[in-house]
Structure 1
Amino acid sequence: MAASRLKDFVKNGRKIYGAALNYKDPSGDTSKQIQEPVLFFKAPSDYITEGTPIEIPVGFTLVEELELGVIIGKTCKKVTESEALDYVGGYCIGLDMTAVNEMVKARSNNWPWTRCKSFDTSCPVSVFIPKEEIPDPNNVELWCTINGRLQQVGNTKDLVFSAAQLISFISQTHTLEPNDLILTGTPPTPGIVHSGDVIEGGIKEGITIKFIVN
């Protein structure tokens, strides 16, 4: 699909996947590392773009999780890892806003993650990034600040499962379509945000995002 049509991925995308627990432990400890991708969904209605504030639902404690987003460019079903990146149309920077108190509740009760991951304004994203601007999605340096204080730094080379592996894994059971988004996972030390906070982040020497928390 032409990049010009993918620029409206927020409007036209039908699925948002998130990859959980997908960064290696900085200490090198692999004892708790996941053995296959752990995935969750966000609803397309969760999308917001710059200029729209992040809302904190009543009773929620929110954490920001900055991530590289992969935007699918053409229909993708049962592809191999070696061919998976051929189906990428472009990228974005995304924030996987997570209700950490609801996550604790879900984990302790073995409940689904829907409530803690998918709610209005929980998927702030940047503009579309053409594929050629990120020639290697396995080596993208990310950063995030809260009120100007550095909160997260990481590189996609430290993902447990790469973008290609995630695409291949998902496509074995679920057809990926143009404009679908995969949030690949967040670097260590995501931070709690409060009303009035300003979240900024992006790719080193590349595109940035800025969102205000209401």
Structure 2
Amino acid sequence: MAKSLFSLPDVVQIPVVGEANTYPVERIFCVGRNYAAHAAEMGNEVDREAPFYFTKSPRNAILTGQTVPYPPGTENYHHEMELALAIGRPVFQATSQQAWDAVFGYCCALDMTRRDLQIRERNKQRPWDLGKDVENGAVFAPLTRAADWALTDDTRIHLSVNGEVRQDATLSELIWKIDEIVMHLSRFYHLRPGDLILTGTPAGVGPVVAGDVLTGGIDGLDPIRLTLGPAE
């Protein structure tokens, strides 16, 4: 019988608020430019014909509250505060109602980005992987079940660095709403439990350095925290 040459790390398990259960992470999809003000600050226009996506490796995901090294290869590491949704049942080519029914829960997330590498590769019309798929670059707070959280247009999303507010918006600014994102993405993938979707970041992104403490929140969800240590 064949034997594996080596063992792999366990998958990240996101706690579920008020439960002993955890949510294992299999795939991470991210929606690009889903807030008009953020697109503008990056020098881009919003594509209003359809959302677009990039992915992050689940092995690069971590849980809130950790201290991680400043990543290699960048001199312009940026924070991006996001609302993440977790898929709770298989869904493919979803209707709006099926999209809503497929959402297991929501949480605060950070999409950390090597901005200099992202822009460099984008300008050369190359994939963004070096900029976006960063070790320890997908950070998740505990999940709240969809039935236990009211998503409203005036729900605030915010992030501070060392206590100074950097990002401050409401979810009304989302260009593509939750059901629209799930409907569209499910045309291309058989979405299933274990899939997380980061829905985009509002304006105010900016650089962080070693020693910075990032704290973020979305009304009604568990907050998120990340500390950057020195580079390895």
TM-score (norm 1): 0.89
- Equivalent residue letter for 2:47: I
Aligned to 1:33: 46
Aligned to 1:181: 196
Is 1:119 aligned with 2:131?
no
Q: Report the Cα distance in structure 2 between the residues aligned to 1:5 and 1:84, rounded to whole angstroms.
A: 24
Q: 1:7 to 1:65 in 2, by over 3 A?
A: farther
Q: 1:173 to 1:5 in 2, by over 3 A?
A: farther
Which of 55, 75, 87 does residue 69 from structure 2 map onto? Answer: 55
- Equivalent residue letter for 1:19: V
TM-superposed deviation, 1:126:
0.1
Q: Report the Cα distance in structure 2 between the residues aligned to 1:105 and 1:115, rounded to whole angstroms.
A: 10
Aligned to 1:17: 29
TM-superposed deviation, 1:142:
0.6
Asked if structure 2 preserves the Cα contact closer than 8 Å seen for 1:138 and 1:162, the reply is: no
- Equivalent residue letter for 1:33: V
Counterpart mapping for 1:108-187 below 5 A: 108-136=123-151, 138-187=153-202
Aligned to 2:120: 105
Structure ID, larger Rg: 2
TM-superposed deviation, 1:180:
0.9
The answer for unaligned runs of 5 or more in structure 1 is none
TM-superposed deviation, 1:137:
5.7
- Equivalent residue letter for 1:181: L
The answer for unaligned runs of 5 or more in structure 2 is 1-15
TM-superposed deviation, 1:18:
0.5
TM-superposed deviation, 1:38:
1.4
Once the two structures are overlaid, the 10-residue window that deviates more, 196-205 or 117-126, is 196-205
Asked if structure 1 preserves the Cα contact closer than 8 Å seen for 2:28 and 2:58, the reply is: yes
Asked if structure 2 preserves the Cα contact closer than 8 Å seen for 1:6 and 1:89, the reply is: no
Asked if structure 1 preserves the Cα contact closer than 8 Å seen for 2:107 and 2:221, the reply is: no
Deviations 1:1-24 (A, max 9, x none): xx7999522xx2211000111002
Q: Secondary structure at the match of 1:157?
A: helix
Q: 1:183 to 1:6 in 2, by over 3 A?
A: farther
Q: 1:39 to 1:6 in 2, by over 3 A?
A: farther
Aligned residues: 207
Structure 1 or 2: larger strand share?
2
Q: Secondary structure at the match of 1:101?
A: helix
Q: Report the Cα distance in structure 1 between the residues aligned to 2:196 and 2:165, rounded to whole angstroms.
A: 26
Q: Secondary structure at the match of 1:18?
A: strand
TM-superposed deviation, 1:40:
0.2
Q: Report the Cα distance in structure 2 between the residues aligned to 1:156 and 1:135, rounded to whole angstroms.
A: 12
Deviations 1:31-73 (A, max 9, x none): 9221211100000011111342233222212100000000001
- Equivalent residue letter for 1:102: L
Q: Report the Cα distance in structure 2 between the residues aligned to 1:83 and 1:185, rounded to whole angstroms.
A: 22
- Equivalent residue letter for 2:134: F
Alignment identity in percent? 27
Which of 84, 88, 110 does residue 103 from structure 2 map onto? Answer: 88
Q: 1:89 to 1:138 in 2, by over 3 A?
A: farther
